[in-house]
A = this chain, B = another copy of it.
């Protein structure tokens, strides 16, 4: 790493989470979801593809052509679980499960290794279906994408176990690619992923050539790249089906606009340094920008970093849902236009939110700017967590902000990118809580946890205790091996208007947050020894409004409290949701809802806080057929009025209950709305 970075990540193994909110999620992820997804890898044919490729079979590939990546993401997640050494903590893995998981991981690694070809190439779709067409369709066939996930899995497994078998496989494949990058692979990957993976590989192997390879892919994009030329010779490239065009031509819808080629779907419409707005497929964009950030970190390229910050500003000020979700359109799973953020058709793919976490973590490390860690918080608690059911076995691919009751999580998807992505993020949550500066330690996320690390030349242990995000208090105990002077950088969240911070009982910060809506770090520089920091981030219920350019949400508010976005669900509210209008002049009250937690049977929700809010709604009596406006004498039948003058109808007071957005669709199916009319 060159000095361009302001902070560096901490090792997963240095952090141990023990948190009232997260323990349940992490345990469900590890015990249920990881297991459930392994079964899916088997039943979907993903592992069978590796077996058959290894045995030299041909034909019969099952699943999406990039299904190898499902196995790699699973391996990555499992490796994070194995890295979690704290078998004794409540949130840890017990010994027998650990042995079982190790065995399973080893078996899959054997399988992957045995499917690798002699020249280092590894992709079961090509091995089984089109061995002669390797590297002919960089655009859609995702060989480099799968390679990237292989590398990520390998790096994680090596870091978790020091066993280099999978890393060797990945390195051989990376070198295979590197040897062809000016020849057969004279383009950029259609779906980014390998860029960030190569930088991880460079860091673990200390081989600069992988950074160079990543930089090559970054630089090529948008510069007369191969995508358009591949479409011109579509009949001779991989994925082409003479009957219906197949995968090779299916992409036309995403890459052509009014018959003209348009590379924006893959961020290839122009070179990155010229891009002003976040465009195209949102997951590709996030993985790309994360990879670019890695390249910027490794090369010290300020221009790349400044461009990323500009793009981040476009995204967060004009193209992002209040949940942190991104990508407005199902068509192309993509960013669209500034302020085009529809609720009911929001795409906001779970993978894109996760990609945003990856990108933001890197931007934070590069800049030390609290706004990036702050957006991770928003995205994690809302746009990511909504992607998985509380029982860990159902998943949202697209995270709508409003539903008439017909949108539900599903057990699996043909394109199963999202479930294992959630799993690898939850299994590596430790990564995002803290970071180390040269003479400082950043506290980015408020999660009950302990970190043991070295700062300013001394061993430091820092223990957070909190019931965040349900409550506003966080206690941080600092213990150093020897008294040492360094800064603790505490993120004050953007939503917090009143932050009180005490060290050993002395107030170091009180009252109104002067950042007015921007997150910031409060720096506490002192000699640390054995000290207690007490933090209170006042959590009031904040109705939030959206920029008026988003016409659909004019006159509506979203209820938030702390980092959580809330929503209305039919399960808690009797009327069709659109009948309610929040009475912001009235009362909004928080309430601990233990019944809700019981209903959901998830320990993570031991103490969920719901919001009861005064509202008004039409008086339905005004609309009955037997009042004077309705019945028609001549026919003697009831005819309720469909239209009435405003002065003939009335409203009544109601109370609505809002629950955290991430919890929606975990009970009886029904309507949901984040943005609610307000009186």
Query: Which of B516, B543, B579 is A646 in contact with, Cβ under 8 Å?
Result: B543
Across-interface contacts of A632 in B (CB, < 8 A):
313, 371, 518
A window 325-368: CB within 8 A of B: 367
Q: Given A543-B645, A551-B578: A516 and B629 within 8 A (CB)?
A: yes
- Interface: A316 (CB within 8 A): yes
Considering the complex, give the chain B residue whose CB is closest to the CB of A648: B517
**Contact of B516 with A367 in the complex, beta carbons under 8 Å:** no
* Selected interface stretch from A185-193, A603-611, A633-641: A633-641
Chain B minimum-CB-distance residue to A646: B543
Find out whether the CB atom of A369 lies under 8 angstroms from the CB atom of B649.
no
A445 at the interface (CB under 8 A from B): no
Minimal beta-carbon separation of A626 from chain B (angstroms): 13
- Smallest CB separation, A142 vs chain B (Å): 32
Contact mask for chain A residues 273-311; partner B; CB cutoff 8 A; 1 contact, 0 none: 000000000000000000000000000000000100110
Are B317 and A369 closer than 8 Å at their CB atoms? no
Is the beta-carbon distance between B620 and A548 smaller than 8 angstroms? yes
- Known contacts A369-B634, A555-B555, A629-B516, A643 near B546 by CB under 8 Å: yes
Tell me if A646 and B551 are in contact (CB < 8 A). no
Minimum CB distance partner of A559 in chain B: B646
A529 to chain B, nearest CB (A): 32
A547 to B578: give the CA distance in the assembly, Å: 12
CA distance A649 to B641 in the complex (A): 38
For A516, the closest partner residue in chain B by CB is: B628
A623 touches B517 (CB 8 A): no
Q: A635-B309, A639-B317 are in contact. Are A548 and B644 (CB under 8 A)?
A: no
Q: How far is the CB of A322 from chain B (nearest CB, A)?
A: 6
Which residues does chain B contribute within 8 Å of A306, judged by CB atoms? 635
A558 — which chain B residues lie within 8 A by C-beta? 643
Check A547–B678 contact: CB distance below 8 A.
no
Q: Which residues of B contact A522 (CB under 8 A)?
A: none
A544 touches B646 (CB 8 A): yes
| Residue with the greatest number of chain B CB neighbours at <10 A, chosen from A371, A497, A646 | A646
A643 to B382, CA, bound (A): 15
Residue in B closest to A553 when the chains form the complex, CB atoms: B578
> Of all chain B residues, which has the CB nearest A557?
B646
Separation in Å of the A531 CB from the closest CB of chain B? 29
- Which A505-522 residues sit within 8 Å CB-CB of chain B? 516-518
By beta carbon, the residue of chain B nearest A548 is B618
Asked if A547 and B646 sit within 8 Å, CB to CB, the answer is no
Within 8 Å of chain B (Cβ to Cβ): is A179? no
**Does A554 touch B at the CB level, under 8 Å?**
yes
Could you say which residues of chain B place their CB within 8 Å of the CB of A385? none
Chain B CB within 8 A of A542 CB: yes
Chain B hits for A313, CB < 8 A: 632, 635, 637, 639
Q: A549 at interface (Cβ–Cβ under 8 A)?
A: yes
Pairwise interchain contact B640-A317, C-beta atoms closer than 8 A: yes
Q: Counting CB contacts under 8 A, is A642 at the interface?
A: yes
Nearest chain B CB to A87 CB, angstrom units: 41
**A617 near B548 (CB under 8 angstroms)?**
yes
Answer whether residue A318 sits at the interface, using C-beta atoms and an 8 A cutoff. Answer: yes
CB of A552 closer than 8 Å to a CB of B: yes
CA distance A73 to B625 in the complex (A): 40
Contacts of A646 in B (CB 8 A): 542-545, 557, 584, 678
Q: Is A245 an interface residue (CB 8 A)?
A: no
Distance (whole angstroms) from the CB of A522 to the closest CB of chain B = 16
Q: Do B634 and A367 have beta carbons less than 8 Å apart?
A: yes
Chosen A-B contacts, 18 in total, with CB atoms closer than 8 Å, are A310-B637, A313-B632, A313-B637, A317-B639, A542-B645, A542-B646, A544-B644, A544-B645, A545-B643, A545-B646, A545-B649, A546-B642, A546-B643, A547-B641, A547-B642, A547-B643, A551-B577, A555-B677
| A-B complex: 7 closest residue pairs judged by Cβ atoms | A551-B578, A548-B618, A543-B646, A313-B639, A317-B639, A516-B628, A517-B629
Chain A residues packing against B (C-beta within 8 Å): 306, 309-310, 313, 316-318, 320, 322, 367, 369, 371, 497, 516-518, 542-549, 551-552, 554-555, 557-558, 576-579, 581, 584, 617-618, 620, 623, 625, 628-629, 632, 634-635, 637, 639-646, 648-649, 677-678
11 further interface pairs, Cβ-Cβ under 8 Å (given A309-B635, A551-B579, A554-B581): A310-B637, A317-B640, A545-B646, A547-B640, A548-B576, A548-B579, A554-B578, A555-B555, A555-B578, A555-B677, A646-B678
